[in-house]
Structure 1
Amino acid sequence: MAKIAVLGAGLGGSIMAYELRDQVGRDDEIILINRGSIYSFVPSNPWVAVGWREREDVEIDLAPACAKRNIRLRPEGAARVIPSENRVAMLDGSSVEYDYLVIATGPELAFDEIEGFGPEAKTQSVCHIDHALMTKAAFERLVANPGPVVIGAVQGASCFGPAYEFAFILDKALRDAKVRDRVPMTFVTSEPYIGHLGLDGVGDTKGLLESALRSKHIKWITNARVTKFTSEEVLAEEINDDGTVKAAHAIASRFTMMLPAFRGVAAVRDIEGLTNPRGFILADKHQQNPTFKNIFSVGVCVAIPPMGKTPVPVGVPKTGFMIESMVTATAHNIARMIEGGAPNAQGTWNAVCLADFGDGGIAFVAQPQIPPRNVNWSSQGKWVHAAKIGFEKYFLYKVRQGKSEPFYEKLALQALGIDKLKAVSFD
């Protein structure tokens, strides 16, 4: 009997535990480690932040599904992974021993790297449900007392889609409140151009997103390096291609929401052979750590090098299909190792993304995620908003029911008409 621990119960970790249950033997033990028993659907946070969703709409207690699927839930939270001893030290002083470990922690939010940054300081966030509810209160204050707004993503960020989403969702919510005419909006991003997304664009995301920003009267600054946030301004330098400062900006802002850079969580940072200097988990093409062969990783915590040099540092996003791809490959590889074989499945790391704009949106497919690509497609329309709602409902349903069926592959096959998008490939 093998003992498999999954560390983290977010988008990747929850379905990781479910898919392992489908792949390994009935006598193999699966332990899901998380801080608390609640799963929160992070892609809905921009809606929470403007009052279109409540906390209870986007959260699920994992305990019933884990019990139904014979998964042991440990909600005490992890203090430290100790690979040399094959155990996870828990916050309550106990330990979880494992034969195999899948790290799916997601990131730590590096707000402390810029003065005045974060929900405990001068800015808002949609990265966590608690942050989104704080942002909702700030949004209500903005509606009552309109003024300038800054939305975007800072240097080192690797997640840009939610910044664009929130800019357009906020625009829609302000129009609904009849105060948009008194709220100048500026999109400030570390991307070298609008629609880069950490992927050097997909299809015509540059043209589509520039046009969308322009049509909503949202100005933008690219190649931006933020130096400080205050309660009244965002201070940022616009950087030339050679690294010199093109212009210094002091952008008035009564309401600021910018996505931070990520780093690995404290439980795994600074473990030689396990993480890179930023604290992300080192993994080969099979999601397996090169040093600790019984450790795998999926999701945002995985170390992926940037696509190339940009004037301001920009990371590579881990999109939903990519995470599902990692999960499926990892479940197959662990099952194979338990049977005495070697890992031979690898995620295809294609990107399928739905970016909701409140009353429309943009969808894109990149196959593979990093160019050059076989599929390089993007489109827009009101159907994207409807598809995102469907995605939310389906994903919450499958987490509640303990199901591991992939969503993005079905979306690509059925809705987008792309018939060659596969989750995994084999050596």
Structure 2
Amino acid sequence: MAHIIVLGAGTGGMPAAYELRETLGNDHEITVINERDYFQFVPSNPWVAVGWRNRNDITFPIEPYLNRKNIKFVAGRCDKIDPATNTLTLENGTQFQYDYLMITTGPKLFFQEVEGAGPEIGHTHSICTVDHAEALYVEYQKLLEKGSGHIVVGAMPFASCFGPAYEFAFIVDADLRKRKIRHKFKMTYVSSEPYVGHLGLAGVGDSKGMMEHELRNHHIDWIINAKTTKVEQGLLHVDEYNTDGAVHKQHQIKFDLAMMLPAFKGVDAVAAVEGLCNPRGFVIVDELHRSTKYKNIYSAGVCIAIPPVEATPVPTGAPKTGYMIETMMTSAVHNIADELAGKEPHTKGTWNTICLADFGDTGAAFVALPQLPPRNVAWFKKGKWVHMAKIAFEKYFIRKMKKGTSEPFYEKSILKMMGITRI
């Protein structure tokens, strides 16, 4: 009997654990280790930040649901990984031996990249965790009570997931319009992207034109090629670069509320393993999602290393969206199963991107097949159906995690909805 440990229980780790159990049966031991004892559906955090959802809507305790599938769960932070002895050590000193390790930790939110950033010790907010979204909601309520102000939304240098920034900007706009007070608030989108709609993907279809139109139509100003260098209370220091990589203009942007997505890095325990990660702490994997150095370590999701789609004047990363993560997990699971069965692993994930971005009362969906251009499919559409699809996705995914299945969602649902039958 082999022991497989899944390190991380997010939108990748939980499905991976279920798929491992479905694929392997009960012949092997599976343990999930996660820093928190609850699952949080991260894509709903922008709604939490404006009060459209609360913690109970998008979180649930992990252990009872995993236990139903004969999967052990341990709540605790991993402080050390020792590949030489196949051992994990938790913060309380407890050690676990593994035969195979699947790393699905997600990223470390590296607010320290920019002085004065972050919700704990800085002056900007985040929607990357439910705790951060709740803290942002408290400050948003204070701003509503004040009755007017400047709201800045965007992404810091080295950010790699820009969709939630656009989502939050448009969701705030929609919330203010519903309250009939939108005219009292100035909004500015500030991003490290080289142009509006770049999304870390070098654009998808006419995403540049469409997103510029949307920002303009919603009276949201923008500054792109923006390197945020420092944040003070109520003041964002930004260098705006031109296409040649030289500083074109310097801004000091006064704000009353700022939500700036941070740079991502690898979590400390993973980044500390010699030869496992790139310089920013992301796990280096081959096309089988297996570590290039440690053959019994697999990794998938936001924590793996993939190169930027293109060089940009201000550093940006490439996003790892839901469909890509879904296929990564399946790849890793089936390759572990092959190894346990004495077969040569061969399953590969896809580098395709599919994303639903909610805009509060409408939304945009984009498909990039593959993620790196030139592409076979570059599809970008807007409509109220995307808003409804995002709500349906939330309900479906949370229910799926409670039910304990790993049924693929994107191929069966989203691609069909978009009329895409072949990838």
**What TM-score, normalized by structure 2, do the two folds share?**
0.98
Counterpart-to-counterpart distance in 2, 1:188 and 1:275? 30
Deviates more, 1:14-23 or 1:404-413: 404-413
Q: Find out whether 1:262 has 2:264 as its counterpart.
A: yes
Q: Secondary structure at the match of 1:268?
A: helix
Of 341, 344, 359 in structure 1, the residue corresponding to residue 346 of structure 2 is 344
1:137 corresponds in structure 2 to 138
Counterpart-to-counterpart distance in 1, 2:188 and 2:47? 20
Map 1:6-405 to 2 at 5 A.
6-120=6-120, 121-145=122-146, 146-405=148-407
Deviation at 1:340, TM superposition (A): 1.0
Counterpart-to-counterpart distance in 2, 1:409 and 1:352? 10
User: Letter of the aligned partner of 1:94 in structure 2?
Assistant: T
Deviates more, 1:84-93 or 1:384-393: 84-93
Counterpart-to-counterpart distance in 1, 2:26 and 2:402? 21
Counterpart-to-counterpart distance in 2, 1:124 and 1:108? 15
1:424 corresponds in structure 2 to none
User: Letter of the aligned partner of 1:148 in structure 2?
Assistant: H
Counterpart-to-counterpart distance in 1, 2:344 and 2:282? 24
Deviation at 1:36, TM superposition (A): 2.8
User: Letter of the aligned partner of 1:338 in structure 2?
Assistant: L
Deviations along 1:124-145, one digit per CA (max 9) or x if unpaired, are: 1101100000000011011111
Deviates more, 1:60-69 or 1:386-395: 60-69
Map 1:405-416 to 2 at 5 A.
405-416=407-418
Deviations along 1:316-345, one digit per CA (max 9) or x if unpaired, are: 000000000100111110000001112201
Counterpart-to-counterpart distance in 2, 1:212 and 1:411? 26
Counterpart-to-counterpart distance in 2, 1:256 and 1:116? 12
Q: Secondary structure at the match of 1:398?
A: helix
Counterpart-to-counterpart distance in 1, 2:282 and 2:144? 39
Alpha-carbon contact 2:159-2:261 (below 8 Å) kept: yes
Counterpart-to-counterpart distance in 2, 1:347 and 1:83? 24
Deviations along 1:281-329, one digit per CA (max 9) or x if unpaired, are: 0100000001100000010000011122111101000000000010011
Alpha-carbon contact 1:243-1:311 (below 8 Å) kept: yes
Deviation at 1:414, TM superposition (A): 2.4
Alpha-carbon contact 1:143-1:177 (below 8 Å) kept: no
Counterpart-to-counterpart distance in 2, 1:380 and 1:242? 32
Counterpart-to-counterpart distance in 1, 2:418 and 2:345? 31
Deviation at 1:203, TM superposition (A): 1.3
Alpha-carbon contact 1:106-1:299 (below 8 Å) kept: yes
Counterpart-to-counterpart distance in 2, 1:201 and 1:160? 11
User: Letter of the aligned partner of 2:124 in structure 1?
Assistant: T
Deviation at 1:65, TM superposition (A): 1.5
Deviation at 1:59, TM superposition (A): 0.3
Percent identical pairs in the alignment equals: 53
Counterpart-to-counterpart distance in 2, 1:132 and 1:34? 20
The size of the alignment, in residue pairs, is 421
User: Letter of the aligned partner of 1:39 in structure 2?
Assistant: F
Counterpart-to-counterpart distance in 1, 2:269 and 2:209? 41
Q: Secondary structure at the match of 1:53?
A: coil
User: Letter of the aligned partner of 1:331 in structure 2?
Assistant: V
Counterpart-to-counterpart distance in 1, 2:199 and 2:109? 18
Counterpart-to-counterpart distance in 2, 1:409 and 1:266? 34
Counterpart-to-counterpart distance in 2, 1:36 and 1:221? 36
Deviation at 1:79, TM superposition (A): 1.3
User: Letter of the aligned partner of 1:160 in structure 2?
Assistant: F
Deviation at 1:27, TM superposition (A): 1.5
Structure 1, unmatched stretches of 5+, are: 422-427
Counterpart-to-counterpart distance in 2, 1:413 and 1:127? 26
Counterpart-to-counterpart distance in 2, 1:23 and 1:203? 37
User: Letter of the aligned partner of 2:107 in structure 1?
Assistant: P
Alpha-carbon contact 1:149-1:252 (below 8 Å) kept: no
**What TM-score, normalized by structure 1, do the two folds share?**
0.97
Deviates more, 1:386-395 or 1:262-271: 262-271
Q: Secondary structure at the match of 2:102?
A: strand
Deviation at 1:178, TM superposition (A): 2.5
Alpha-carbon contact 2:202-2:310 (below 8 Å) kept: no
User: Letter of the aligned partner of 2:227 in structure 1?
Assistant: R
Structure 2, unmatched stretches of 5+, are: none
Counterpart-to-counterpart distance in 1, 2:244 and 2:54? 46
Deviation at 1:380, TM superposition (A): 0.3
RMSD of equivalent CA atoms: 0.9
Q: Secondary structure at the match of 1:26?
A: coil
Counterpart-to-counterpart distance in 1, 2:95 and 2:350? 34
Deviation at 1:411, TM superposition (A): 2.3
Counterpart-to-counterpart distance in 1, 2:325 and 2:175? 30
Q: Secondary structure at the match of 1:159?
A: coil
User: Letter of the aligned partner of 2:271 in structure 1?
Assistant: R
Deviations along 1:6-34, one digit per CA (max 9) or x if unpaired, are: 00000000001001111114210111001
Counterpart-to-counterpart distance in 2, 1:37 and 1:110? 22
